[in-house]
A and B are shown apart, each in its own frame.
Chain A
Amino acid sequence: MDRRVARLILVMLFLWTSGIMLEGQDLKDTGSTMDAGHSFPPEFALTANENQSDPAASGDSSANATGGGDYGGNKHGLTQIFRRFQWHGTISQGFIYGSGNNYLSMDTNDGSGKWSEAAINVSTALRDNVHVGAQVHSYFMGQLGRGTAQLDWALADYRVKDWLGFRGGKLKAPLGLFGEIEDTDTLYNWALLPQSMYEVEFRSYNIPVEGGEVYGSVGSGRNRVTCQLFGGRRSVAGNDGGPLLSWQIFGIKLGPMAGPTYGGAIRWETPIEGLSAGVLFDRADLFAPSAYWPYNPYGWPLWLRTDSVVRREIYSLRFRRGKLDLAAEGKHEPHWVSNDGVPILPAGSPRNAWYVMGAYHFTNKLTAGSYFSRVWGTSFADTLRWAYYDPSKPEFYGNDTVINARYDIDRHFYLKLEGHYIDGDLGAFFPATNPNGLQKITRLAIARFGFTF
């Protein structure tokens, strides 16, 4: 495990245990019978204002926890400050063993545990309808992530009405059913989400947007439409898979890559219990002003000014009723790449994908499921391949058949086991870890173990 991830985990454990200790303090101070071992140890939320309904009874008529006033008279120093915040965190460790291609820049054919993730967040309510918070995320996945602690999101949320709100800061942009949570392992059953849609090697591009969002909803109950419109700036982190692929496949060092983005998502909770449908559109114009191509066919080093336009359309369906959870999504992602304004390819090369999945909750602890995921075309990171696109070649398609089981040991700990049979290339068979070229078939056995508070 990388030292930086380990450091983050230590901080999380400290906060978690601090939460328990503070809860004990709270128990003593207020006479609450809260159990120190409950599921959400640091119950520091000030979203509800104790004693405010009866200021006289509290003996403090100015008590205003949500407004940042003298909560409880500020009698307990650090405890009371901490009570203003909610702290939550998650850590997970993955192991992959397989045959065929090495996956995700790990030596999976020999078995690899170089897959650690951790995140911690803090949030608080400044007023009834104003919340702020931030999350730091760190991951280590083969040569990706490198354990760097990165700001995952940091935002202010102002809910004007129940049907209208605004968010600003660094946000998690909507992306299909799982886009906003794809780096939070505890929130879904699968060890790997369908990689045709949620490529872990492109997380830094897929998930965060620095900017703003308007969100709203109409209807209620089982017939409700929610809408998000966002705009801002996307960037590709240097420790992400895009730059690594570009370097390993083409010998191009991309350097900083960022640009404006906008998009919108609509989701409809239909009158049919459990059935929802959604659609997303977004676009990003990514600019890499100092890409460097030292070894190229021209014989001398070249500096490139690369523009990429990536558009996405995603259509989603989900049916959740009782113990059954079914989902299907499709994606169309054309992209255009040019250098100094000159198109590298005459037309946008598309990447298309879809998947279907089903899971069944056998008990409160055990869920099992399966999905089939397919992708074809090229991503914007390897768009140069489009020049010799041949859909019958395994580097231009990927079919992934998956079986999975998740066991929740308790509310904090969980274990996932998953098997993949991959025909073709899902996009994360990095050349450096596959020096003998691409194998058509890859088999993977994955285990992930995690803890959340």
Chain B
Amino acid sequence: MGDSMKKNLKTILLASAAALATGNAMAEGVKVIANASLGADSVSVAEIRNVFLEVKTSLGGTHVEPVLERGGPAHETFLRHYLGRSDSDLQTYYRSLVFTGRGAMPKALDSDAEVIAYVARTRGAIGYVDSDSNAKGVRTLAVIGEGNVSERKLVSRVEPDYPEVLRSRAIGGTVRLRVTIAPGGNVTGVELLGGDAALGEAAAAAVAKWKYAAAPSRTTAEVSITFNPNQ
């Protein structure tokens, strides 16, 4: 094995070890949907919590209005994973806003179909439905996780090539990428969040070939890859 190959192998191993998928996607069984007018493709768990507790009233510059389901598995899952409240707690919370003049009672509907239809036709509406629901006419938001949602498993990855011209000039560092993953597991988008542009391009080319486990909806993940010219 030549020196060059050894160096490449080391780089690949280091890069692999440094590839971190932080936070991820959605709670199992539920997906977050929004009206097409919403100026965002993804939303964090904290943003979801704040929107549904009426602490936050806009996303991506668009005014948002939460839409609830009145019960059912998606409702229970959503409350448990994203709001950390029981249904009765949540009703009391909304009523405390209503009876003090500090907020309004959100729209509450009976079924996934009603929520989808309402969200589709209502500017700024954001809701949640069962992950198997046919969410036509609405935008399914990728949920950037925050610890209490399960991570999406990386099942196959391609290691990045360290451009020789950069290595020879001792140009290295860490690049951060935001990866959009289709429900089937293929990477459909890579966005450079930070780091050297040329290294980012090399990393993005590799990450675009990664394969994740299937999930009910599109998700995003943040990935960091380190290039070390001395190894």
List residues of A whose CB falls within 8 A of some B CB: 32-35, 38-40, 43, 45, 47-54, 57-58, 86, 88, 90, 119, 121, 123, 125, 128-129, 131, 133-135, 153-155, 157, 159, 162, 167, 171-172, 180-181, 184, 186-187, 217, 220-222, 224, 273-274, 361, 364-365, 408, 411, 452
Alpha-carbon distance between A411 and B35 when the two chains are bound, in angstroms: 29
Do A86 and B87 touch across chains, with their CB atoms under 8 A apart?
no
- Residue B104 interfacial (CB < 8 Å): yes
- Residue B122 interfacial (CB < 8 Å): yes
Alpha-carbon distance between A153 and B55 when the two chains are bound, in angstroms: 21
Chain A residues within an 8 Å CB radius of B49? 221
Do B104 and A33 touch across chains, with their CB atoms under 8 A apart?
no
Do B99 and A129 touch across chains, with their CB atoms under 8 A apart?
no
Alpha-carbon distance between A226 and B214 when the two chains are bound, in angstroms: 40
Given A121-B101, A180-B100, 12 additional A-B pairs, CB 8 A: A34-B109, A43-B107, A43-B108, A48-B123, A50-B121, A51-B121, A123-B101, A129-B57, A155-B101, A157-B101, A187-B99, A217-B55
Do B107 and A172 touch across chains, with their CB atoms under 8 A apart?
no
Alpha-carbon distance between A86 and B123 when the two chains are bound, in angstroms: 19
Do B95 and A39 touch across chains, with their CB atoms under 8 A apart?
no
Annotate B101-129 by CB proximity to A: 1 below 8 A, 0 otherwise.
11011111111011000101111110000
Alpha-carbon distance between A430 and B104 when the two chains are bound, in angstroms: 39
Q: What's the dominant secondary structure at chain B's contact region?
A: mixed
- Residue B88 interfacial (CB < 8 Å): yes
Chain A residues within an 8 Å CB radius of B158? none
Tell me the nearest residue of chain A to B113, going by C-beta. Answer: A33
Chain B residues within an 8 Å CB radius of A224? 55
B59 → chain A closest CB, angstroms: 10
Alpha-carbon distance between A88 and B96 when the two chains are bound, in angstroms: 11
Do B87 and A171 touch across chains, with their CB atoms under 8 A apart?
no
If A48-B122, A48-B124, A187-B92 touch, whether A53 touches B37 (CB-CB below 8 Å) is yes
Do A123 and B104 touch across chains, with their CB atoms under 8 A apart?
yes
Alpha-carbon distance between A155 and B50 when the two chains are bound, in angstroms: 23
Chain B residues within an 8 Å CB radius of A222? 46
- Residue B56 interfacial (CB < 8 Å): yes
Do A88 and B99 touch across chains, with their CB atoms under 8 A apart?
yes
Do B36 and A184 touch across chains, with their CB atoms under 8 A apart?
no
Name A221's contact: one of B45, B106, B124 (CB within 8 Å).
Answer: B45
A127 → chain B closest CB, angstroms: 9
Do A54 and B56 touch across chains, with their CB atoms under 8 A apart?
no
Annotate B88-100 by CB proximity to A: 1 below 8 A, 0 otherwise.
1001100110111
Tell me the nearest residue of chain B to A364, going by C-beta. Answer: B88
Tell me the nearest residue of chain A to B124, going by C-beta. Answer: A48
Do A88 and B121 touch across chains, with their CB atoms under 8 A apart?
no
A248 → chain B closest CB, angstroms: 31
B226 → chain A closest CB, angstroms: 28
Alpha-carbon distance between A90 and B99 when the two chains are bound, in angstroms: 9
Name B101's contact: one of A49, A90, A128, A135 (CB within 8 Å).
Answer: A135
Chain B residues within an 8 Å CB radius of A32? 114, 118
Chain A residues within an 8 Å CB radius of B106? 45
Do B125 and A48 touch across chains, with their CB atoms under 8 A apart?
yes
Do B105 and A364 touch across chains, with their CB atoms under 8 A apart?
no
- Residue B167 interfacial (CB < 8 Å): no
28 A-B residue pairs with Cβ-Cβ distance under 8 Å, sorted by A, are: A33-B111, A38-B108, A39-B91, A43-B108, A45-B106, A45-B107, A48-B65, A50-B122, A51-B121, A52-B37, A52-B123, A53-B35, A53-B36, A53-B121, A88-B99, A90-B99, A121-B98, A121-B101, A155-B101, A159-B57, A162-B58, A184-B95, A184-B96, A187-B92, A222-B46, A224-B55, A361-B88, A364-B88
Q: What's the dominant secondary structure at chain A's contact region?
A: mixed
Alpha-carbon distance between A39 and B100 when the two chains are bound, in angstroms: 19
Name B98's contact: one of A53, A123, A162 (CB within 8 Å).
Answer: A123
Do A162 and B56 touch across chains, with their CB atoms under 8 A apart?
yes
Chain B residues within an 8 Å CB radius of A411? 91
Chain A residues within an 8 Å CB radius of B146? 221
B68 → chain A closest CB, angstroms: 10
A413 → chain B closest CB, angstroms: 13
Chain A residues within an 8 Å CB radius of B45? 221
Alpha-carbon distance between A58 and B49 when the two chains are bound, in angstroms: 31
Do A128 and B63 touch across chains, with their CB atoms under 8 A apart?
yes
Name A157's contact: one of B88, B102, B108, B110 (CB within 8 Å).
Answer: B102
Chain B residues within an 8 Å CB radius of A153? 100-101
- Using a CB-CB cutoff of 8 Å, which residues 35-80 of chain B contact chain A? 35-37, 45-47, 49-50, 55-58, 63, 65, 67, 70
Do A48 and B67 touch across chains, with their CB atoms under 8 A apart?
yes
B131 → chain A closest CB, angstroms: 22
**Residue among A40, A47, A51 with the highest chain B CB neighbour number at 10 A:** A47
- Residue B84 interfacial (CB < 8 Å): yes
Do B123 and A88 touch across chains, with their CB atoms under 8 A apart?
no
Alpha-carbon distance between A88 and B45 when the two chains are bound, in angstroms: 30
Name A364's contact: one of B50, B65, B86 (CB within 8 Å).
Answer: B86
Alpha-carbon distance between A121 and B50 when the two chains are bound, in angstroms: 25
**Residue among B36, B45, B46 with the highest chain A CB neighbour number at 10 A:** B46
What 6 pairs between A and B have smallest CB-CB spacing?
A221-B46, A48-B65, A52-B123, A128-B63, A53-B123, A184-B99
